[in-house]
Structure 1
């Protein structure tokens, strides 16, 4: 264990990203995700391993056994990619209650803001092994509806009530929690910027915590995911001009927390393209994480180096959809 004066790269990463308004934090699985982000200049309060605004908050509580894994995966056909840092635990250590019926949990004594600790938290019963997906309210009318639904699976009627009354949403796992205070978007309306939740029962995959191409071992699950500020998209996924500073910043994160095999393939691809050497198809990687790393590298080279005949050959011969991100990744 490191001494009190030793560098702690995980703590440094967490504190730097909590201080960065361009970072987004998520907890959840495909079909059920809570997301925290904030606007530049938006008033925010900081505490140890947490940040909170008037629209939501995030707090991290990382066990000593947490494994931190940074990765990049291609996203869609438009030369985009996603990057992320997963805070992972062994599946057994990550397990939460996995309740399958609506359950009253009592006052939320672990709420990020002291004033929210008297409100009552209700597990929605989604059966997610790694996340207690809850709502929190002090509204008597909503509490009556939730108490009436207790002991039963969540119904469409209850969902409609939640959308109408807009309680806080609290997604909690073994590595922390995300709280969303903002209203719930009405069906058919755009996803709001800033803190929000996604709940799509028809797409729910309770054990799918990260992209298939992420270099996360089969015994690990992602309990919290950090999405640092991205070089070609904003927090809402809209395209922006390439930001070299943001790109370089995440490459440093990859150097510290990325998969070394995928990193080696990334470095070899960059060196080959810059040297004018085409791909040797017999040497293309077979594992999903490395294939994704090569696909992302080719997309990034369009921004860092510009088009070239060699890059065109690489992009033609390398499968463009290697390691595509799952919908709620």
Structure 2
């Protein structure tokens, strides 16, 4: 999986670690100073706003997919790990964070918020005596029964540390209030209503049964920033992403994508099978990609006339963002 680890050091790629209702995301600007480390089987990058460390284990199964996002598309690879861990379901103090990505953070205390996901420890890290006292006062309780702790976390803004067996993602930026917006760059989502569903991932993610996403790579978009802003086309990014999708995608999805690409290249109008319900999403993706990367494609107009553009519910959302996560 060295090819996937190479994306950790790519500033155009994003990463997320979490579960349905509790998610940490790492993004960085292309010109943002960063400390980057690569060792066999491991890749780490740290900025002043956060960091991510990815170290796949031998039982990881990578799974790639692409789907509509906003008025464009997104592409991702989940590092699927066994979902048979013993994640905590109550607030638990873990002691000093000796594995912190930065040496200066290793004396601060790590507290697991107990989100109940089998594969995830969603933690906060702090040296704030008042916040630690408040967290210790509710230790052993589920987060949903911890009273004013959520408000105290927003006020204090401790580091967030989300850990699985294959990755660690740290966020140093402030926590926005409930009516605020997530900051650019690294940030977290914590939504108790979604956590109550007991899912490890959104229903739209094709994670195999018995597995959970230990970390998710959000592949760079060839014509948009991660926030969804248009940029000049980068065909090389699209080529690399497609190679990754072919290597790690579900075989049926890879076959369907290849068939649609061949039909679009050779047929002036979509053949009947391409208009079927089974191929609708794949055709829509191919047309969106052609519109942004090959707007003068000779068959694009006729195909689009037969396949009107579908509007996504996630219009305006960042391309790494799962609308279900809030």
**Which TM-score tier does this pair reach, normalised by the shorter chain?**
0.7 to 0.9
Q: Which has the larger displacement, 238-247 or 227-236?
A: 238-247
1:54 alignment partner in structure 2: 48
1:176 alignment partner in structure 2: 167
Q: For structure 2, list consecutive stretches of 5 or more residues without a partner in the other structure.
A: 316-321
2:132 to 134, 140, 143: 143
Distance 1:243 1:128 in 2: 38
Are the counterparts in 2 of residues 25 and 37 from structure 1 also a CA contact under 8 Å? yes
Q: Which has the larger displacement, 115-124 or 167-176?
A: 115-124
Give the TM-score normalised by structure 2.
0.85
Give the TM-score normalised by structure 1.
0.84
Distance 1:294 1:312 in 2: 10
Q: For structure 1, list consecutive stretches of 5 or more residues without a partner in the other structure.
A: 1-9
Q: Does 1:66 align with 2:63?
A: no
Count of aligned pairs between the two proteins: 309
Q: Which has the larger displacement, 297-306 or 158-167?
A: 297-306
Distance 1:96 1:219 in 2: 14
Report SS of the residue matched to 2:288. Answer: helix
Are the counterparts in 1 of residues 191 and 325 from structure 2 also a CA contact under 8 Å? no
Cα deviation for residue 33 of structure 1 reads 0.5
Cα deviation for residue 51 of structure 1 reads 0.9
1:91 to 76, 79, 83: 83
1:163 alignment partner in structure 2: 154
2:96 alignment partner in structure 1: 107
Going from structure 1 to structure 2, the CA distance change for 1:188 and 1:230 (only over 3 Å counts) comes to same
Distance 1:142 1:321 in 2: 41
- Structure 1 runs (4+) deviating above 6 angstroms are 318-322
Report SS of the residue matched to 2:307. Answer: helix
RMSD of Structure 2 on Structure 1 (CA): 2.6
1:39 to 29, 54, 69: 29
Distance 2:47 2:79 in 1: 23
Q: Does 1:25 align with 2:19?
A: no
Cα deviation for residue 285 of structure 1 reads 6.5
Q: Does 1:311 align with 2:303?
A: yes
Going from structure 1 to structure 2, the CA distance change for 1:187 and 1:215 (only over 3 Å counts) comes to closer
Cα deviation for residue 310 of structure 1 reads 2.9
Going from structure 1 to structure 2, the CA distance change for 1:157 and 1:279 (only over 3 Å counts) comes to farther
Cα deviation for residue 305 of structure 1 reads 3.1
Are the counterparts in 2 of residues 273 and 310 from structure 1 also a CA contact under 8 Å? no
Q: How does 1:1-329 map to 2 (within 5 A)?
A: 10-14=1-5, 16-47=6-37, 48=39, 49-76=43-70, 78=71, 80-92=72-84, 95-97=85-87, 99-154=88-143, 155-204=146-195, 205-210=197-202, 212=204, 214-274=205-265, 275-281=267-273, 284=276, 286=278, 292-306=281-295, 308-316=300-308, 327-328=324-325
Are the counterparts in 1 of residues 8 and 54 from structure 2 also a CA contact under 8 Å? no
> CA offsets, 1:131-189, max 9 Å, x none?
11110111111111111111222235111111111111011111111011111123322
Distance 1:105 1:285 in 2: 50
Are the counterparts in 1 of residues 28 and 186 from structure 2 also a CA contact under 8 Å? yes
> CA offsets, 1:40-95, max 9 Å, x none?
2222112231111111111112111111112101124x2x1111111112322xx2
